[in-house]
Amino acid sequence: MAKPPTRLALDMDGDGALTLDDARAVLARLPDWAAQAYFYPGDSFISFLLRYDATLGLARHFEIKPEWYGGTFSAFISAVVWIVVLLVLVRVGGIMGRGLHWLKTMKKRRRFRARLP
């Protein structure tokens, strides 16, 4: 994958309508899209470094090249990003679960208080 990340599109033939041919083309490219989705954070980081190399100079300093798209460096950056995203989602899910539990207990308390004379 020696090119910067591209956008994913469901309208594969570009005619403006989703048809069965588009669905077949999407299913045929699903493994490519999964790989592209995994490498997207790392490839975007490499693209950022190459784009702003004139001002930052990091790509030149670390000898980052366009051939690194989809490579080991991109896989490492992507793994770190996806792990952080997963941890954030787990944390948010835990917070939401505790919030739902709190709401249930508050409803029970209100019902109990309503029964008191």
**pLDDT computed for residue 81 by the predictor:** 96
Give domain status of residue 67, yes or no.
yes
What letter would DSSP give residue 62? T
CA–CA gap between residue 100 and residue 79 (Å, rounded): 31
Position 25 scores a pLDDT of 78
Residue 104 is assigned to a structural domain of this protein: no
The answer to the question of residue 45 being in a domain is yes
Rounded Cα distance, 79 and 41, in Å: 9
The model's pTM is 0.63
Is 76 within the bounds of a domain? yes
| Residue span of the structural domain in which 39 resides | 20-82
Tens-binned pLDDT, residue by residue, of the chain (117 aa): 445 555 566 677 777 777 888 778 777 777 877 888 899 899 888 888 888 877 778 888 888 888 888 889 999 999 999 999 999 999 988 888 887 778 778 777 666 566 656
2 located within any domain: no
| Number of domains the chain contains | 1
58, part of any domain: yes
Which of 85, 59, 84, 87 has its CA nearest to residue 73? 59
In a domain, 5, yes or no: no
